[in-house]
Structure 1
Amino acid sequence: MTADERREQILDAATTAFAEHGYAGTTTDEVARAAGVSQPYVVRLFGSKHDLFAAVLARICGAIIASFERVEPGPDAARALGDVYVRLLADRDKLRVLMHGFVSGSDPTFGLQARRTLVRAFEIFRELTGQGDEAARNFVASGMLINVLLAAEAPEHASEPGVGELLACAVGADAAAELITDAA
């Protein structure tokens, strides 16, 4: 396995660990065991747990922005951006890490990454759709609502009063039906 492949393997293991246990509840020992490497190797590659989490968060945020940037500009761009986002966050590990990163915004590194990602999503929406600040704000705000609903396992609990309706309002009826089916 190449060094780059090993690094990706560690980032995958770290994504799962941080998603399951949060930043505070995850150790580099756990990540190393899950990745099948030694803890000193993880530290040698990433420096610290903080730097490892920053790398995982940057990877997820980078994937979101890269996916947004591949959307074609035009009248269908707003819907395409929303569809891309819902598909990306169907990976619950990535979603949970993203949420941990956002709520850890008081950390200068994590906060900067979160703010840059939100700002870039806002900019991309305006660039691709030609719509103004209000529509872009609604897109970003809807994205955060989607994050919270998925983190709260709304698709798994769509039969609870109001949950399915709110999920459908947030992501659209078709996407909600798909999320609910996938969760079953």
Structure 2
Amino acid sequence: MSTRMTADERREQILAAATHAFAEHGFAGTTTDQVARVAGVSQPYVVRLFGTKKQLFQTVLERICGAILEAFEAVPPGPDAAEQLGQAYVGLVHDRDLLRVLMHGFMAGSDPELGALARRTLVRTFALFQELTGQGTEAARNFVAAGMLINVMMATEFPQHGAEPGVEELLVCMLGEKTAAELAGATR
């Protein structure tokens, strides 16, 4: 006898399917029907729970931005905070779906709601870095900029292409030898 999923479990199943679909195909290339098929539910059920495709994407993006900020907010303030913030972010980049949806969300910044969410996340990251590390705006800018470059590198599969000229050098420069090697090993 199989156990029926609760409404919360079904919602989580749909959000996981949507995260993967949006990561693979972007906002424009994903349909609520694709999400429903992956989740094993009907398309009208997806629409009933989340409304429009944009509302579903916004829910997924809000969860991702929330997870990033939650990881940063868990870092204690102090002299090791900058390194710990970096490690917290590197821990998140192992989830390619997270990164790819984040990139799609930031590219959809001209949409009023999605743009506001992206801006709030970047501004909060900038402020958190300063609060937790005691460092100024230049260091915070470098942290946010490095994070965005890491997003791009991971979204374009840098660890899988370390043999290409310059790829390994930039990966090691951004992440350090140990983390670069870990990521390259995780993708093989």
Q: What's the TM-score once normalised by structure 1's chain length?
A: 0.98
Residue 139 of structure 2 is aligned to residue 135 of structure 1: yes
Aligned match of 2:116: 112
Alignment of structure 1 residues 8-47 onto 2, 5 Å: 8-47=12-51
1:79 to 83, 90, 106: 83
Structure 2: distance between partners of 1:3 and 1:73 = 39
Amino acid aligned to 2:164: E
> 1:123-168 CA deviation, whole Å, 9 max, x = no partner?
1111110100000000000000000000110000011111011011
Cα deviations by residue, 1:94-128 (Å, 9 ceiling, x for unpaired):
11000000111001111111101101111111111
1:62, distance to aligned residue in structure 2 (A): 0.3
Write the deviation string for residues 60-91 of structure 1: whole angstroms up to 9, x where unpaired: 00000001100111111111111111110211
In 2, the alpha carbon distance for the partners of 1:23 and 1:151 equals 15
Deviation (angstroms), 1:172:
1.7
Structure-2 residue corresponding to 1:91: 95
Give 3-state SS (helix, strand or coil) of 2:8's partner. helix
> Which residue does the alignment assign to 1:164?
168
User: Could you tell me how far apart the structure 2 residues matched to 1:143 and 1:27 are?
Assistant: 29
TM-score (norm 2): 0.96
Name which of 71, 74, 78 aligns with 1:70: 74
- RMSD, aligned α-carbons: 0.7
Q: C-alpha separation between the residues in 2 aligned to 1:113 and 1:158? A: 33
State the secondary structure of the residue aligned to 2:76.
coil
Match of 1:144 in 2: 148
Alpha-carbon offset, residue 27 of structure 1: 0.4
Structure-2 separation of matches of 1:132 and 1:108: 30
- Whole-Å separation in 1 of the counterparts to 2:93 and 2:116: 21
Tell me, yes or no, if structure 1 residue 52 matches structure 2 residue 52: no
Aligned to 1:121: 125
Counterpart amino acid of residue 158 in structure 1? G
SS of the equivalent of 1:81 reads helix
Per the TM alignment, residue 44 of structure 1 is displaced from its structure 2 partner at its CA by 0.7
For 1:17 and 1:53, locate their aligned partners in 2 and report how far apart those are by CA, in whole Å.
Answer: 10
Q: Percent identity?
A: 70
Any stretches of 5+ residues in structure 1 without a counterpart?
none
In the TM superposition, what whole-angstrom CA distance separates every residue of 1:19-48 from its partner, at most 9, and x where no partner exists?
111111100001011111111111011110
Structure 2 residues without counterparts, runs of 5 or longer: none
Give the aligned partner of residue 2 of structure 1.
6
Separation of aligned partners in 2, 1:91 and 1:163: 20
